[in-house]
Structure 1
Amino acid sequence: MSHVPEYDLILWRFPHDPALPHLRQLVNLLAVQQHLPAEGLRKIGIQGTAQVLAHQVVNYRPEIRCTNRYNLYDSTHDRTYQLFGKTFGDSQGQTLYERLQYFWERCLADQEAMTIAQPLGYSAAINTVWQRGAPGTPLLHVLNTSNYKPYIATVAKGLASLHASDIRDLAVHSPASHLVETHKKLSKLSDAIPRLSEACGDVADEVERTAPHSSTIPFRPIHWDFHVDQLLADNGRLVFCDLDELVIGDPVQDLANFVVDLQFRHGDHEFVHLITTEGWHQYQRLVDWPVSIERFAWHVRLQLVNKAYRQYLRFAPGFEETVERIIRSAQRGLLQ
Structure 2
Amino acid sequence: MINPLAQFALLLDADLMAAALQQHLPECQAGDWQVTGCEIQHPRYKTYRLAENRDRSFLSLVYHLRGRHPAETTAEQRILYARAYLGQRSQQAYTEAQANGETAIHLAELGMVGWRFPDDPAMPWLAELMDSRQIAELEQRPISTIEIVNYRPEIRCTARYRFAASETEPARVVYGKTYADERGRAVYTNLLTLQRQSVAAFVMPEALAYDAGHHTLWLEGLQGHMLTELDFTVGVAEKIPALAHALAAFHQVTPPPLLVITSQQQLKEWLKKADKLSHAYPTIQPALTGLFNELRQDCPEFEVLGLIHGDFHIDQLLVLADGRLALFDYDELAIGDPLQDLANFAADLYNYPYPVAVIDQLVQTLFTAYSAANHNQTDAQRFVWHLRGQLLTRAYRCFIQQKSAAPQRVADFIALALRPWPLAD
Interval containing the TM-score (normalised by the shorter chain)? 0.7 to 0.9
1:223 has 2:326 as partner: no
Cα distance 1:242–1:317, how it changes in 2: closer, same or farther (>3 A)? closer
Q: Which has the higher contact order (CA 8 A, sep 6+)?
A: 1
Matching residue of 1:51: 142
Q: Distance in 2 between matches of 1:100 and 1:50?
A: 27
Are positions 1:173 and 2:261 aligned together?
Answer: yes
Give deviations 1:268-325, integer Å, cap 9, x for gaps.
Answer: 4333333222222222222369421111111111111111111111224421111111
CA distance in 1, matches of 2:403, 2:361: 31
Q: Is the 8 A contact 1:222 1:249 kept in 2?
A: yes
Q: Decide which of 279, 285, 288 is 2:372's aligned counterpart.
A: 285
Alignment partner, residue 132 of structure 1: 220
1:301 touches 1:333 (CA, 8 Å); kept in 2?
no
One-letter code aligned to 1:295: R
- Aligned counterpart, 2:319: 233
- Matched residue type, 1:59: N
TM-align CA RMSD: 2.5
With structure 1 as the length reference, what TM-score do the two structures score?
0.86
1:157 maps onto 2:245 in alignment: yes
Alignment of 1:1-336 (within 5 A): 6-7=89-90, 9=93, 11=113, 12-36=115-139, 49-77=140-168, 79-106=170-197, 109-110=198-199, 112-143=200-231, 145=233, 151-213=239-301, 216-234=302-320, 235-287=322-374, 290-332=377-419
Distance 2:241 2:311 in 1: 19
Distance 1:333-1:173 versus aligned 2 partners, 3 A rule = farther
Tell whether the 8 Å contact from 1:218 to 1:289 is kept in structure 2 after alignment: no
Q: 1:26-65, CA deviations, whole angstroms, 9 ceiling, x for partnerless residues?
A: 11212233555xxxxxxxxxxxx22221112212222222
Closer, same or farther: CA 196–22 of 1 in aligned 2, 3 Å: same
Q: Is the 8 A contact 2:312 2:341 kept in 1?
A: yes
Give percent identity, aligned residues only. Answer: 32
| Contact 1:219 1:251 (C-alpha < 8 Å) held by counterparts | yes
8 A Cα contact 2:230 2:236, kept in partner = no
What amino acid sits opposite 2:151 in the alignment? Y
When residues 76 and 268 of structure 1 are mapped into structure 2, their CA distance, relative to the original with a 3 A threshold, is farther
* Structure 2 gaps, min length 5: 1-80, 98-112
Q: Which residue is 1:40 aligned to?
A: none
Q: Describe the superposition over 1:141-184 as per-residue Cα deviations: whole angstroms up to 9, x where unpaired.
A: 23555555652222122212221111221101111111111111
* Deviation of 1:13 (Å): 3.0
Letter in 1 for 2:133: L
Report how far residue 92 of structure 1 moved: 2.3
Structure-2 change in CA distance of 1:52 and 1:202 (3 Å): same
Distance verdict in 2 for CA 1:333–1:27, change over 3 Å: farther
CA gap 1:144/1:62 in 2 versus in 1, 3 angstroms: closer
Q: Identify if the C-alpha distance between structure 1 residues 291 and 6 changes in structure 2 by more than 3 Å, giving closer, same or farther.
A: same
Shift of the alpha carbon at 1:247?
0.8
Q: Is the 8 A contact 1:118 1:131 kept in 2?
A: yes
Indicate the residue corresponding to 2:59 in structure 1.
none
Change in Cα spacing, 1:155 to 1:317, as seen in structure 2 (3 Å) is closer
In structure 2, what residue type is equivalent to 1:281? T
Counterpart Cα distance in 1 of 2:192 and 2:120 = 29
Supply the distance in 2 between the matched residues of 1:279 and 1:317 (Cα, whole angstroms).
Answer: 29
| Cα separation, 2, equivalents of 1:321 and 1:226 | 25
CA contact (8 A) 2:181 2:215 kept: yes
